[in-house]
Structure 1
Amino acid sequence: MKNQVWTIDRRNFIKQTMAGFGVSAGIDARSYSRIIGSNDRIRLGGIGPGDRGAGRLAAAQKMGADIVALADVNKGMLERGLKIIGTPVDKTYVDYQDLLARKDIDGVIIATPDHLHHQTLIDSVRAGKDVYIEKPLTRTIEEGEEMIARVKASKQIVQVGNQRRSGEHFKRAREIVASGGIGEIRFVRIWDFRYRPKDPYIKRASDLKLFSPELIDWPKFLGRAPKRPYDANRASGWRWFWDYAGGLMTDIGPHWLDVAMWITGSDGPRTVTCNGGKYQNTEWETPDNVHAIFDCGTFAIVFMVQFMNGQEYDGAAFYGLEGSIVQENNRGMMVRYDNKRKEVESWKIMDESPAHMQNFLDCMQPSTAELTC
């Protein structure tokens, strides 16, 4: 495992954490007069339309948007994206700048590897496009600060893919916590345990064909990352290499840690202690087993994530002085308990992704809608 130590003051750590999770760049859609008419169909382009990106594009299409163009440095992923979307587009590009140059595109969905988010977002808002960008927003403090400044200086809507904020089940939990329904929060526990021998993140030999040197523009994939010879494992499993991402902490962490901060109303931790190791996926640079403790002043968050055993599914628990709220994914329910461990109420866990995308599309139109992150 590659061991790294950062020395950072609290103010800048909070900036980095919030920028990475995508909660600092909230732009009120009502602040600007939109060019799109209320009866016009939104025209979107996809930058990085692989598995996740194409899924978001397909969702937007079902909600009435037209998907007109795709851009990806990998021609194999362009083909896969087209199959997932299910309808033809006007044109595909290797260079996303060609897509951004089109005046007939209102917005873009960005789902590139993390290390490309910074420049792609800046170029997109400079080109006058609204943006839905997958989490994490960025990798570094400096990139995050510049991205936020560029967005605020533009007239564009930018939505970060922290979909859990659009989940009605999490909104209900937030209401209970805010009203004092379980008393003052003293402890939050988050776990994400998966057994994924066929996980799309862990590429098999057949998948590597999609990342052959004949299909991928390797210099464009690298972007501003350190120059290295072509490597199919890096191209396909970029999440697990430090040059391009931060492993499980930045892949899974933004989903859970963002919603934990949001539900509790915290502005960020005072200190963070983190450790991890490589016990199964030895080809990764990043740990495949991560544990972190966030000291938020009046309460602590314990975060655990691994892809080696899925017994406990994933979930979160909020422990207050007068009760608890536990996400029980094995039951598909959020459950509120009193201090005697008696169930007080429960409500269903819903798929929050459609609502999050709908929120983005609503904010692109003239409306009173506000971004949920």
Structure 2
Amino acid sequence: MNAIPQSGARTELSTPIVSFRGVSRSYDGRTPVVDGLDLDIRAGEFLTLLGPSGSGKTTTLMMLAGFEWPDRGEIRLNGRDITRLPAYGREMGVVFQSYALFPHMSVAENIAFPLGVRKMPRAEQARLVEQALALVHLAGLGGRKPQQLSGGQQQRVALARALVYRPRLVLMDEPLGALDKALRESMQAELKQIHRQLGITFVYVTHDQDEALTMSDRVAVFHQGRIAQIAAPETLYRRPASRFVAGFVGETNLIEGTVTALDQDRARLRLPNGAMVEGWRSEGLAEGGAAVLAVRPEAVALRPAGGGTIDGIVADAAFHGDHLRLQVEAEGTAVQVKIGAAAGVVVPRRLERVGLALPAEDCVVLA
């Protein structure tokens, strides 16, 4: 047997390993939880399925794992139809939020369980278990029981069990949801490092936007059973394709206006105060039609009154450690502004009039 594979699959990021085509799933026969899903998963990528509760992301993962079957459509793995293939025949590792460890077994026995199911010789099992323990930084703890470990260590055991038999994909459903903030952030970094080291395809489900942006090669944002947008994290954040994506992924300001001009990449918008602004254009815009300008709080620049795109009154200011957050009432809209909290930064006083500059490179005009 070969050792756990090292990086190499990362060179094949353009190759789909999984394809969903027209996949739908309903639990009541009327309302689709997943609705006509088309999705390609690239070999070696870290793909995150992100969305609110009920958006279809976990159901999609469960259909890929073989724990649920679609009502319509097909799922292919390396070109092979696996739509009705039982879970045990798919060779995919799965990690759940609950860890799902066997309490009566040792850590090593938990990790070895999928190897035993596959009738692997005991000596080979022991070798691969040691490799997996080292990979997740638990070397020397194989003899302990799960209840003797911390939550983060138990999650590492669950990950090692999913990786030990060298699956084609590793599927993770909210695996860090039960951990506290500091431990969750530490585990995010470790998961990303393991992914880079192994080059195995990771498919990860979460509702945590920061987690998705931090860890992923691509993020698929789910909304009402469909993918609203799939893109690299930076593209998703800076160029949201819809009002839903702009509002769900991170924080954003939405300022209403009227489209006055369109070209291939840009749109011009007239704001209620008559000011003209530009931004990257999305689909569905028409000259003379209503639209919203989406701009992130950290992209809004403070100016003296009269020196920006729009003026407003500071309604509130709050200190958040590494940044200051202002709420500015401008043209009937509450605009959030984030500025660095470095020493010497002058913070406008409450009820002070300020100008807000809206840089075109950081703005997106959405239908």
TM-score, normalised to structure 1, is 0.28
Bigger Rg, which one? 2
Higher relative contact order (CA 8 A, sep 6+): 1
Normalized per residue, the structure richer in strand is 2
Normalized per residue, the structure richer in helix is 1
TM-score, normalised to structure 2, is 0.28
